Chains A and B, each alone.
Chain A
Amino acid sequence: MITQAESKKKPLLKVNNLKQHFPIKGGIFGRTVNHVKAVDDISFTIYEGETLSIVGESGCGKSTTGRAILRLDEPTSGSVFFEGQDLLAMSKSQMRNMRKHLQVIFQDPFASLNPRQSVSQILGEALAIQNIVPAGKRRERIIELLGYVGLRPDQIDRFPHEFSGGQRQRIGIARALAMQPKLIICDEAVSALDVSIQAQVLNLLKSLQRQFKLTYLFISHDLGVVRHISDRVMVMYLGKVVEIADKKSLFDNPQHPYTQALLSAIPVPDASKKQERIILRGDVPSPINPPTGCRFHTRCPHAMDRCKTEIPALTSLHDTHQVACHLVQ
């Protein structure tokens, strides 16, 4: 359903019917007794130069989606087209070559850098693996990269433990930039940082996006951060996409009851403004045996009989707003 507004933009990454089911082994013979349906049949498109955010609570499959696109975990089924080529159909060595176009920034800046490598080794290795810069010019390039992310040239031979969390995250960003990627997946990239550092790193990501024409898939549970950085937002619940829209439309006019509940949880910095909170009852159901029909019906304040049996399809509300709910159809 390519609408007029969308057809003008060029799709960079197209995810179709992606499924990621993790087997649960049990019994004495280690047979597969069940599956955790972490991501269950989702489709979406990322357009060149935009920032698409995935939000949702823990366990909704947002990080799994990112890892599946990068084939850090092999997805169960589906296809991921990057510039028209299916990443999931590629051989291991073809995929290794493709990896320079898709980079990732991880959540934990303390775990994402090898503690035994200095900055120059970390970045030098990135350059060496894909042979982006000839060996003789690597050190210059590393210093250039450090400059882009706001680190000093004299920090080049330091080790990760000599940096603060924010600085380490900058090294992680520099490592991703070293590959001159087109798409960067930011997997909770600022969640582990202090709020003040978060803002700095977010602004850095934004300015790098302008400078290098990057496309971001930004995975986060923090709606404030998402509002700051995104062009479009995708809301996930229990392995399914429930709503996907441009930022303004989603924040101003959320359609799905789950999105509404999520947004009502954002604190408002004005005590006099009374805000109606939608409190969701109960826990997220298990992704091993997700509810039939609409996955949200067990906690939805507006659930109808139909929701228990029929899976709502993602339907367009208008040009840039799609939602999967029986209420809006």
Chain B
Amino acid sequence: MKVEYAPTNQALPPKATTARPGRWRTFYRKLRKNKLAMVGGCIVVFYIAIALLAPLIAPSDPYAIDLVNKLKPPSAEHWMGTDDKGRDVLSRLLYGTRLSMSVGFVSVFIGAFFGIILGLLSGYYGKWVDTIISRVIDVLLAFPGILLSLAIVSALGPSLFNVMVAVGVFSIPVFARIVRGSTLTVKKLEYIDAIRSLGANDFTIIFKHIFPNILSPIIVQATMRLATAILSAAGLSFLGLGAQPPLPEWGAMLSNGRDFLFTAPYLAMFPGLAIATLVLGFNIFGDGLRDALDPRMKQ
């Protein structure tokens, strides 16, 4: 057989404009089909919008104390009533969304950043690097997450930022594990050998060829982890270790509402509902993402 297409002198074809054919469109189509995931996605988008728009949509200042109107039940003026200092619960809840979201994103970022690096190193280099990193991760995983973050926060002192650090740290082993596992799978593929035999260095192989191919499980895990992080942060604030008064953090509001459970149940109910729906939203959205991104479920 002869080579059919000898090199020609014809003009170079223009660069294709559609960079990612099919792949993301298939993923989006699968996600669209999953009704539950779309509901989760809507909840998440709804809360993100609230977080961004809080100052515009909040009916009043979340910090404005009005002792005359304290502990008022929901009414036309205060849709979710007022707390023991007369502050509008709805406004506090809307501003609280910002806190919860930023806690979630910052701590997941911390966890993912260090977890991904540790996982990639441990999976790619193996041997003693893997042994050391894996053992440290095992130790971290052996602690119940909330206990670990309790310990970290009590060591660093109660503040919202320290909560982010604590929740981030206890997310590290989860990411490291997943990334390590995926790295082990991908590094055995022939195209990694091919790149190596071209003479690429480890940095190129790890970050240009392995990392993009293990993104799917990381995205799924990050989404699921957001829910856990928000819940843990609310829990720590509930215990008085996170957001300090007068910050309108949901966990702190819930904790505050606990003192008035019988006289003003709406004080605990609304922050509780907000936490529950946001966590639920992230969880079912994460489930849907996993189903859509999982290569084993390819059509």
Contacts and interface: CB of A to CB of B under 8 A. Distances in A.
Interface of A: 67, 70, 72, 95-100, 102-104, 106-108, 111-116, 118, 125-126, 129-130, 139-140, 143-144, 146-154, 156-159, 161-162, 172, 175, 179, 199-200, 203-204, 207
A96 B201 contact: yes
Nearest to B21: A159
A114 B199 contact: no
Nearest to B209: A114
B144 interface: no
B198 A175 contact: yes
Task: Please name the 4 residue pairs, one residue from A and one from B, whose CB atoms are nearest each other, closest first.
Answer: A147-B7, A157-B16, A99-B199, A112-B190
B191 interface: yes
Contacts of A139: 12
Given A112-B191, A172-B194, A175-B198, A204 B12 contact: no
Interface in B142-200: 189-191, 193-200
Given A108-B190, A162-B21, A99 B198 contact: yes
Given A95-B199, A150-B5, 17 more contacts: A72-B193, A103-B197, A104-B193, A106-B194, A111-B189, A114-B191, A114-B209, A114-B213, A126-B198, A129-B200, A143-B12, A146-B5, A147-B8, A150-B3, A157-B13, A157-B15, A207-B3
In this complex, the member of B6, B199, B200 whose beta carbon has the largest number of chain A beta carbons within 10 angstroms is B199
Contacts of A99: 197-199
A106 B190 contact: yes
Nearest to B15: A157
B212 interface: yes
B76 interface: no
B204 interface: yes
B1 interface: yes
Contacts of A106: 190, 193-194
Nearest to A142: B12
* Majority SS at the chain B contact face: loop
In this complex, the member of B12, B193, B197 whose beta carbon has the largest number of chain A beta carbons within 10 angstroms is B197
Contact of B199 (A107, A130, A156): A130
Given A153-B10, A154-B13, A156-B13, A97 B3 contact: no
B77 interface: no
Contact of A102 (B5, B8, B197, B204): B197
Contacts of A147: 3, 5-8
Contacts of B15: 157
19 contacts: A96-B199, A97-B199, A100-B198, A100-B199, A104-B197, A107-B190, A113-B194, A118-B16, A125-B195, A125-B200, A126-B198, A129-B199, A139-B12, A148-B3, A150-B3, A150-B5, A152-B5, A156-B13, A207-B3
A78 to B, nearest CB: 19
